[in-house]
Structure formats: structure tokens, C-alpha cells
Amino acid sequence: MSQREFKSGFVAIIGRPNVGKSTFLNNVIGQKIAIMSDKPQTTRNKITGIYTTEEAQLVFLDTPGLHVPKHKLGEYMVGVVHKTLKEVDAILYMVEAGSGYGPGDKHIINTLQEIKTPVFLGINKIDKFPQEVVLEEIAAWKERYNFCDIVPISALEGTKVEALLHSIIEVMPLGPKYYPDDMVTDQPEKQLISELIREKILHFTREEVPHSIAVSVDYLETEAELLKIFASIYTERNSQKGIIIGKGGSMLKKIGQAARKDMERLLGSKIYLDLRVKVKQNWRKKEKFLRDFGYED
């Protein structure tokens, strides 16, 4: 295919929290760049994933889940979604099979009615349901919105993910290759590192610590073949700090070991990780703290 026939464009991934948007993105590009958690509202910033073939390049923007904001951080997250929808060539709306059609979905559909951008529907987690249930859901969604295509997928297992990608590529405009073939994200190294640390906190602390966690990479040092990372974990209360540190520092050690393994795999370097836990009370409600943690434009 000649350069003139090459297709490229930007695709926003939207949906209610916890429908598998980050899992889909990680599957598409073949490695972890978007953190995965079974807790809602995990993604706080746009995470760019780049999918490149000989015929096309899709640049995916994984946005925070649309929800009713309860604090300044929530307002920022919802604002990211609305801004992204105005900048892309296509929208991938992801829903979870068997989750029903709730107020959150109605809000998203109403938002999409005002947009002329092509919209695709990915019905995720079909591996959990029989085919007849999935077919019923497809029929129901066809009544709600005029999607360019509806594709049932399993982002975790990779089922029909390529079919969905091919369908999206069909509507992409002719365009340049925005990124080199081997590039899978344009996110700054520090942001990737902080997100991996936050993922492990969410994983290991489970319900004990809510989403009142922020991670700041203070500085990086390169020494021979070793990358030294010094990072701070911020909580809103002293009790949360105690949970993250754990008895005798056991929880913090577990978080650090797991994060370091992912970093070494992603960055291709030996990692020394130094983690400190600090308290900033009610940081999610204060614009200054949000700016400090990179949650403001």
C-alpha cells in the first residue's frame, strides 16, 4: 500500500467506569501502558496507545470513565472525556455484557447524539455469557443509537478484537504515520511509572484504601545499567498511610516489588525503586494539589 493510501486517525475509548477500556488498550498494543483494576474510575488522564500495521495507524486515547463527579478530581476526569470527543476521528464506546442499560449509559448516549463523529460499540466480556444473551444485547443496542458497527469482544482473551480494529480502520481518513512503527505510547516515562505504582496500590489494598491515592515520581537517576526511581505516594488521611505501609513496612514492600517487575518489563532496564508515603489532606478537593499531581491542563 502506498503512502497516499495509508490510513490514520485518533480514536477515543469511552464508557462507564470498569467496563474494560484499559484491558482492551493493553491487548491491542501488546503490552501494559494503561493500568488495570477492578475498581471503577482507575484512569485519570488520557493514555495514548498506538496500533500500527502496514495499512494503518490508530492512535487510541483511553479516557476516564464517564460518571457524575463528586469532587474536583472527578470534574477534571469528566472534562477530559468531553474535550477528547471533540479531537478524534472515531469513538469506541465500550459496554460490559450483562450489565444492563443504566443512567450512566443514557447519559453517554445523550452525549453522543450531539456528536457527528463515527461511533463504534464494543460489547466486552462476552466470554462470560452464552451467545443468545450477547445477540439480545446487540439487538437492544441497535435500538438506542445508530452505531457504525457493533462488535462483541473479550478484551481479556482477545476475542474479535481484530475484527473491531478492522471495522474502525475502514472509516479512518487517509493520513500520515504519526508515530514510528515500534512506538506504542507517547506518555512521559514518569507518568507511566506513577501509574504502575498506583495500580499495585489499588490491587493490594483492595477495599481498604479508596481512590484517594496519588503518586508523584520525584526524580530519576541512571547509574550504569540501573535506573533509580524515587517516588512519593500521597494519601488523604494518616489511617490510609498506615494501611499502605503495612505492619513493619510489609505492604509497601509488596507494592514496590510488584511495581518494579512491571517497570523492568516495560522499560527494559534494571530498576531500583524507593517509595515514601506522605499525607495531603483532602487533596482531591483542592485545585492546587490537582495541579501538583498533573490533573489540570
In a domain, 149, yes or no: yes
- CATH at 149: 3.40.50.300
Query: Is pLDDT of 201 > 80?
Result: yes
Q: Output 67 or 234, whichever has higher pLDDT.
A: 234
Q: Band the pLDDT of 1: cuts 50, 70, 90.
A: very low
Instruction: State whether 159 and 202 are in the same domain.
Output: no
User: DSSP H helical segments within 145-248, as ranges?
Assistant: 161-171, 189-205, 238-245
In a domain, 183, yes or no: no
Predicted local confidence at residue 164, as pLDDT:
96
| Closest by CA position to 14, among listed 81, 90, 72 | 81
Secondary structure class of 192 (helix, strand, coil) = helix
The arithmetic mean of pLDDT across residues 61-85, rounded, is: 62
In a domain, 40, yes or no: yes
- Residue 211 sits in which domain range? 189-292
* pTM, two decimal places: 0.63
Place of cell 511509572: 193
Query: Is pLDDT of 210 > 80?
Result: no
pLDDT tens-digit readout, 259-287 = 998 888 777 788 899 999 988 876 666 56
> For residues 13 and 29, is the Cβ–Cβ distance under 8 A?
no
Instruction: State whether 61 and 148 are in the same domain.
Output: yes
Question: Hey, how many other C-beta atoms are within 10 angstroms of the C-beta on 251?
Answer: 20
Instruction: State whether 72 and 219 are in the same domain.
Output: no
Share of the chain above pLDDT 70, in %: 77
Instruction: State whether 256 and 214 are in the same domain.
Output: yes
Predicted local confidence at residue 56, as pLDDT:
95
Q: Band the pLDDT of 3: cuts 50, 70, 90.
A: very low
Instruction: State whether 280 and 223 are in the same domain.
Output: yes
* Domain count within the chain: 2
Taking the CA atoms of 237, 241, 242 and 243 in sequence, report the sign of the dihedral they define: positive
| Closest by CA position to 11, among listed 32, 25, 30, 26 | 25
Secondary structure class of 235 (helix, strand, coil) = strand
The arithmetic mean of pLDDT across residues 109-125, rounded, is: 90
Contacts of 161 (CB under 8 A, 6+ apart): 24, 27, 28, 153, 154, 155
